[in-house]
Amino acid sequence: MKRQTKIKNFIYPLLLLAPALIILLVFKVLPIILAFRFSFFNWGIAGSKGFVGLRNYKIMFQDPLFWRSLLNTFYYAIVTVPLSMIFSMIIAALLNRGIKALGVFRTIYYLPVVTSLVAVSVVWKWLYDPTRGLFNQILQFLGLSPLQWLQEYRGIFELILGKELPLLLKGPSLALFSLSILGVWRSLGYNVVIFLAGLKNIPKVYYDAAKVDGANTFQTFWHVTVPLLSPTTFYVAIMTTITSFQMFAPVWTMTGPPPGGPLHSTLVIIYYLFRRGFEEYLIGYGSAIAFVFFLIILAITILQRKYLEKRVYYEV
């Protein structure tokens, strides 16, 4: 009887999970396995043309555009992730101060998340237009020179210092930095909602204790809110990092022709993978890029869990 009960307790949950597990296996796990297999073949649009071993990986590691796209991707993430988290936390803290119509503000901040990224990119491309764009009109109103937002390939540190620098010291190009601003704006809504949920879970007694101890607003935020919000911050950091590494639509919609310009300064690894695999029909080579990129994201996530989780306080 006990054995039958154990079998039922195992089978029933498995049956309930079966639809989700099948979707996960078919659309997530299986493509990863197939991509890994394709990466060892000279695979084109007509199918396999023979086993080539590690040749695709060798070509990839010798490809300067692969390294440039990887560097641009890291630049994009380094700019987008910290700014998105800082602004999201500040906005969430302000919205959490008992303001009226909180639901309306939540909706306003969340609208960019549910809006088509292609449509958003088209609108922002107009905002960045060098002659009719809103941002340059604001700069001219302030007495500043207009910028070639999406056409400037020089790094932002080069523009600030006014001299040429080595590639690794140039920083992201102004074009890539402009895409990062869009990325920060789009990610605010989701992150603000998550941070608000985390703030609602912090007991009010801690704020009362800080007030009794004479802490001002900034001290309360830094010594009470930030530590107790660390589980939420940890989650947002991981998810925002993964999302930023998957940036594609703005590059496709806002840069070029060809996309990734000017001079490959906005070429990110997801678009480079797409170009190699689906525009040039080098499926094997694109699969090799995809699998290496998967390993990079996995390694970054593991490092985040290893080093950031030490600063997380799960109990309040």
Q: How far is 127 from 135, CA to CA, in rounded Å? A: 6
- CA distances to 175, 230, 243, 259, 315 from 125, rounded to whole Å, are 11, 35, 21, 13, 45
Identity of the residue numbered 214: G
How many Å apart are CA 95 and CA 257, to the nearest integer? 41
Return the higher-pLDDT residue of 227 and 103: 227
The answer on pLDDT for 34 being more than 90 is no
Mean pLDDT, residues 76-101 taken together: 87
Q: What is the mean pLDDT of the chain?
A: 88
Position 113 pLDDT exceeds 90 = no
CATH fold for the domain made of 50-311: MetI-like fold (1.10.3720)
What whole-number distance in Å separates Cα of residue 233 and Cα of residue 307?
Answer: 13
178-227 tens-digit pLDDT: 999 999 999 998 999 899 889 888 888 888 888 888 888 888 888 888 88
User: What is the domain partition of the chain in residue ranges?
Assistant: 1-33, 50-311
Higher pLDDT, 84 or 6: 84
Helix axes 134-141, 117-127, angle to 10 degrees: 30
Confidence of residue 3 (pLDDT cuts 50, 70, 90): low
Above 80 in pLDDT, residue 315?
A: no
Which of the four pLDDT bands, split at 50, 70 and 90, describes residue 176? very high
Q: Which residue has the tokens 């190009």?
A: 173
Question: Which span out of 26-40, 205-219, 262-276, 297-311 was modeled with the highest average pLDDT?
Answer: 262-276
Mean pLDDT over residues 123-127, rounded? 93
Answering whether pTM is above 0.85, one says yes
Q: State the DSSP string of the chain.
A: -HHHHHHHHHHHHHHHHHHHHHHHIIIIIHHHHHHHHHTTEEEETTEEEEE-TTHHHHHHHT-HHHHHHHHHHHHHHHHHHHHHHHHHHHHHHHHTTT-S-HHHHHHHHHHHHHS-HHHHHHHHHHHT-TTT-HHHHHHHHTTPPP--TTT--SBHHHHHHTS---HHHH-SBHHHHHHHHHHHHHHHHHHHHHHHHHHHTS-HHHHHHHHHTT--HHHHIIIIIHHHTHHHHHHHHHHHHHHHHT--HHHHHHS-SSTT-STTTT--HHHHHHIIIIIS--HHHHHHHHHHHHHHHHHHHHHHHHHHGGG-----
Are 265 and 175 in contact, with CB atoms under 8 Å apart? Answer: yes
